[in-house]
Structure 1
């Protein structure tokens, strides 16, 4: 039922998550933040079982921050994505697998913006746009049709609005609120559509 969307623009990555905490057929709350800041230029969005996602995202956040403190360097988004994938793969091979699907958004000062799609089976793919959850059935086709590699922020916001409008129109589940965050050279910030 959860929704994670992301797309890479000219010099930014925009990430959208729903804010509903759902268990079975019950909505528990409407203001759940499904993101964690891993470093000043890296953001992870997550969906899946509540305990697994919170535990795993906090583990990633603290270990990446510890790496930065010990080595006096910020991990690049690519390095952070590979660290996340390795941790998921190791957990998958143990009896403590995490049921968590992730989108890692980041900005590298040398390579620019990047978006990584990571699933609960530790598959990792760098994508220009990505989705997790049922929203992928509707929004992936919208991204295929309207996405362009060098979109500016306003064009990306318009595309996200189209996707959310399609979800509200066609999806049987009501997802009333979404959180939209942008990662760029200036860091991470939340924006309004």
Structure 2
């Protein structure tokens, strides 16, 4: 029941992911951070098989760091997305990774961007995107409420609406979510949305 979604606003990109590590009918932990910081201005939110997800995102992170170390300049968000897509495409013909990715970043020249990359190496630049069972509800909420040029406050409010909808609609809804943002000041965590039973109320 994984849920990963994100959107692009006015000068920033924001991504949210559930924090449940689940196998079959067992919940192993509820504080798994599925949004990795690739570098100072890039985030990658991933869903999929836990082993593939952790191994592949760490592999991408180390290669992005290696490129910057060798060349003295960081990859742009578009370049990092294309590199990620290329590695998935190569693995697809050998030992495919069961991992879906939303890659968000901020570049001085082009501003914020969000890339949708699925397990069969499909790459699209999008304004909003989602993976997992929660995508049925988060995409519909974003279709209704999203508009280009959203402020940070509006985007966080929309993310909260998506989380509320997922929690109220999914039979087995993830209890906790982590939200991160990337803008000209870098990538950082915005909030951790705890479960209803922990907070006593739904997010406002």
Q: TM-score over 0.5 for the alignment?
A: yes
Distance across 1 between alignment mates of 2:174 and 2:44: 20
Distance across 2 between alignment mates of 1:28 and 1:135: 20
- What count of residue pairs does the alignment treat as equivalent? 192
Where 2:131 maps in the other structure, the secondary structure is strand
Structure 1 counterpart of 2:128: 129
Structure 1 counterpart of 2:150: 151
Check whether the contact 2:35–2:180 (CA below 8 A) recurs between aligned residues. no
Where 1:179 maps in the other structure, the secondary structure is strand
4+ runs of 1 displaced by more than 3 Å?
A: none
Structure 2 counterpart of 1:52: 52
Shift of 1:174: 2.5
Give CA deviations for 1:74-118 in whole Å, capped at 9, x if unaligned: 111000000000000000011x11000000000011100000010
Structure 2 counterpart of 1:187: 186
Distance across 2 between alignment mates of 1:35 and 1:86: 20
Check whether the contact 1:6–1:130 (CA below 8 A) recurs between aligned residues. yes
Give CA deviations for 1:110-159 in whole Å, capped at 9, x if unaligned: 10000001000000011100000011111111111110110000000111
Structure 2 counterpart of 1:42: 42
Distance across 1 between alignment mates of 2:161 and 2:93: 40
> Within 5 A, what are the aligned runs for 1:99-110?
99-110=98-109
Distance across 2 between alignment mates of 1:90 and 1:20: 29
Q: Quick check: 1:26 aligned with 2:26? A: yes
Gaps of 5+ in 2: 194-204
Structure 2 counterpart of 1:175: 174
Structure 1 counterpart of 2:196: none
Distance across 2 between alignment mates of 1:11 and 1:127: 15
Distance across 1 between alignment mates of 2:62 and 2:167: 36
Structure 1 counterpart of 2:201: none
Structure 1 counterpart of 2:197: none
Distance across 1 between alignment mates of 2:96 and 2:162: 32
Superposition RMSD in Å: 0.8
Gaps of 5+ in 1: none
Where 1:121 maps in the other structure, the secondary structure is coil
